[in-house]
Amino acid sequence: MSGTLSKLKNAYHLLKSIDFAMLAKLSEKVDLPKVMASLAKMDDTQLNGLMKMLSSGGKKKELPPIEGDFYDLGSKLNTEDRALQLKVRAFMEKEIKPIVNEYWLKAEFPFEIIPKFRELNICGVTYDGYGCPNRSFLMEGIIAMEMARIDASVATFFGVQSGLAMGAVYMLGSEAQKQEWLPGMQQLQLIGAFGLTEPEVGSGTAGGLTTTAKRTGDTWVLNGQKKWIGNATFADVIVIWARDVDDNQVKGFLLRKDTPGFSVEKIHDKMALRIVQNGLITLTDCRIAEADRLQNANSFKDTAKVLRMTRAGVAWEAVGCARGAYENALAYTRTREQFGKPIAAFQLIQGHLVEMLSNLTAMQTMVYRLSEIQDAGNLKDEHASLAKVFCTLRTRDVVSRAREVMGGNGILLEYNVARFVADAEAIYSYEGTKEINSLIVGRAITGFSAFV
Ligand SMILES: Cc1cc2nc3c(=O)[nH]c(=O)nc-3n(C[C@H](O)[C@H](O)[C@H](O)COP(=O)(O)OP(=O)(O)OC[C@H]3O[C@@H](n4cnc5c(N)ncnc54)[C@H](O)[C@@H]3O)c2cc1C
């Protein structure tokens, strides 16, 4: 009885919501008794849906914009920086997004994007001179985030080129070395790589490098292997870190790609960052001129200066990866319907979305402040390490929730979240694992080193 009453009530409200002039018009076009008979068969949910549709004039409900920058940090940028941010975003949306899944699947690098990147003029963005734009570290971070928001592999390629490789030359090279390499690298006419990790030495590179360098006159002879080296398969120059057998200190060398004794093998079958071409390098009696030794790299402390700068960039990349996953997942939940309504309307789904946004917002505010510290010239290893640990850890949580709210489609590449889930794993491990970066922070706050 109460069911019938509620149906009548709904039908009454429905009729009330109909304009009678419109009804007269309608009766010329449709069979009204038939419509009424169909209405009578509808249940409450269907009638409610119809009422909502009619009262909105058939228009779809207008939803809030999808925005991963919830605290509007973008508004803190000056006009010039904001314009560059939006330019990079438009580039990534237009040039990278449409091709990225295909290349990720093939595990190949889209070389055609290199000239397009050149036009953006964002390589070596913080450096002064050598054709570099001399912008802030904040700008550099925002660029890394915008890239990773669409694809973390492209952001990584760029991080290796602009951060690790150019950074090593810029921070530790002689004037002649800077003049020789930086303008071409800034224009992406010359590609760089950074070879620190070895097959048997990853976290322990500070004290344990096994690649050796022996000086004889004006020539160094290098022997050893380097693993995981991004861009190595096609780089023109690779910064190789090796232990000088005479003084036991780590030194940096600019290895040119055609040097005899140098060979590189692509690492196949990665489950993350598949677009990045990681190489296993072998150096067999590789002869490098003293003029190609990084003139201001005298110990691992100098290597660490480069890593400090780039770790801050990796934290921003993690933010981008989380932001891309969150925004794609949010969009999905608003269109995917189950039980007659968008899944975004379910409380448990909203719970996931809010957890994701909280993490994302915490990460963004953290890296924003980190860049401010860096721009003020006060960045310490532990500042960069804390952000690297926190952001890559939280990103894993965000991408996994993004996948979860998408159900089965969350594991399909075409829905643009699965790739972020996989790529977050690599970002989590490279440029210092969670443990190693935690130990750096731990040492800074306790005064005790717990590495060994
Ligand atoms: C996709 C990708 C790209 C990369 N690109 C580059 C590149 O361009 N150039 C380059 O030089 N390297 C690169 N790397 C290497 C990367 O920096 C290393 O993978 C990373 O430093 C970890 O070293 P590992 O893999 O040898 O792990 P390991 O050092 O073997 O560590 C294994 C585990 O042991 C833990 N562990 C180690 N020591 C301790 C300790 N003292 N206390 C507690 N736990 C510890 C680690 O945290 C980790 O969980 C890349 C790696 C990946 C995956």
Give the Å distance between the CA of 208 and the centre of ligand 1.
13
pTM (predicted TM-score) = 0.89
The answer to whether position 23 is within a domain reads: no
Number of domains present in the structure of the chain: 3
The answer to whether position 25 is within a domain reads: no
Domain CATH for 139: 1.10.540.10
The answer to whether position 279 is within a domain reads: yes
Domain CATH for 424: 1.20.140.10
Where a domain ends, among 263, 292, 321? Answer: 292
Query: 201 is written with which tokens?
Result: 């030495």
Q: Assign 137 a pLDDT band (cuts: 50, 70, 90).
A: very high
Q: Is 273 in the pocket of ligand 1 (CB under 6 A)?
A: yes
Q: In this structure, are 173 and 159 located in the same domain? A: yes
The maximal CA–CA distance of the chain, rounded, in angstroms, is: 102
Q: Assign 28 a pLDDT band (cuts: 50, 70, 90).
A: confident
The answer to whether position 43 is within a domain reads: no
Query: 347 is written with which tokens?
Result: 């409380």
Q: In this structure, are 198 and 182 located in the same domain? A: no
Q: What span, in angstroms and rounded, lies between the C-alpha atoms of 314 and 140?
A: 11
The answer to whether position 17 is within a domain reads: no
The residue nearest atom 11 of ligand 1, judged by CA position, is 196
Give the Å distance between the CA of 261 and the centre of ligand 1.
26
Q: What span, in angstroms and rounded, lies between the C-alpha atoms of 189 and 75?
A: 34
Atom of ligand 1 nearest to the CA of 241: 11
Give the position of tokens 């010359």. 190
pLDDT tens-digit profile of 51-81? Answer: 666 666 666 779 999 999 999 999 999 999 9
Ligand 1 pocket mutation pick from 389, 429, 438, 439 by most atoms within 8 angstroms of CB: 429
Give the position of tokens 């150019």. 166
361 has pLDDT over 80: yes
pLDDT tens-digit profile of 431-444? Answer: 999 999 999 999 99
Pairing of strands 250-256, 237-244: antiparallel
The residue nearest atom 12 of ligand 1, judged by CA position, is 197
12 has pLDDT over 70: no
Atom of ligand 1 nearest to the CA of 164: 8
130 has pLDDT over 70: yes
Q: Is 231 in the pocket of ligand 1 (CB under 6 A)?
A: no
Q: In this structure, are 132 and 221 located in the same domain? A: no
pLDDT tens-digit profile of 401-416? Answer: 999 999 999 999 999 9
Q: In this structure, are 264 and 285 located in the same domain? A: yes
237: which residues sit within 8 A by CB, 6+ positions away?
Answer: 165, 181, 185, 190, 191, 192, 193, 254, 255, 256, 257
Q: Could you give the dihedral angle defined by the CA atoms of residues 132, 137, 143 and 149, in that order, rounded to the nearest 10 degrees?
A: 160
Query: Where is average pLDDT lowest: 27-36, 209-218, 336-345, 371-380?
Result: 27-36
- What integer is the mean pLDDT of 335-344? 98
The answer to whether position 52 is within a domain reads: no
Domain CATH for 245: 2.40.110.10
Q: Is 181 in the pocket of ligand 1 (CB under 6 A)?
A: no
Q: In this structure, are 252 and 172 located in the same domain? A: no
Q: Which domain holds residue 128?
A: 73-186
> How much is the pLDDT for 1?
44
Q: In this structure, are 360 and 435 located in the same domain? A: yes
Q: In this structure, are 343 and 440 located in the same domain? A: yes
10 Å CB burial of residue 126 (0-12, 13-18, 19+) is buried
Where a domain ends, among 186, 201, 223? Answer: 186
Q: In this structure, are 222 and 267 located in the same domain? A: yes
Q: In this structure, are 315 and 441 located in the same domain? A: yes
The answer to whether position 204 is within a domain reads: yes
Where a domain ends, among 266, 292, 318? Answer: 292
Q: In this structure, are 308 and 437 located in the same domain? A: yes
Q: What span, in angstroms and rounded, lies between the C-alpha atoms of 122 and 423?
A: 23
pLDDT tens-digit profile of 225-269? Answer: 999 999 999 999 999 999 999 999 999 999 999 999 999 999 999
Give the Å distance between the CA of 353 and the centre of ligand 1.
31
The answer to whether position 16 is within a domain reads: no
Q: In this structure, are 395 and 415 located in the same domain? A: yes
Q: In this structure, are 311 and 397 located in the same domain? A: yes
- The 3 state secondary structure assigned to the chain is CHHHHHHHHHHHHHHHHCCHHHHHHHHHHCCHHHHHHHHHHCCHHHHHHHHHHHHCCCCCCCCCCCCCCCCCHHHHCCHHHHHHHHHHHHHHHHHHHHHHHHHHHHCCCCCCHHHHHHHHCCCCCCCEECCEECCCHHHHHHHHHHHHHHCHHHHHHHHHHHHHHHHHHHHHCCHHHHHHHHHHHHCCCCCEEEECCCCCCCCCHHHHCCCEEEEECCEEEEEEEEEEEECCCCCCEEEEEEEECCCCCEEEEEEECCCCCEEEEECCCCCCCCCCCEEEEEEEEEEEEHHHECCCCCCHHHHHHHHHHHHHHHHHHHHHHHHHHHHHHHHHHHHCEECCEEHHHCHHHHHHHHHHHHHHHHHHHHHHHHHHHHHCCCCCHHHHHHHHHHHHHHHHHHHHHHHHHCHHHHHCHHHCCHHHHHHHHHHHHCCCCHHHHHHHHHHHHHCCCCCC
> How much is the pLDDT for 7?
58
Q: Is 239 in the pocket of ligand 1 (CB under 6 A)?
A: no
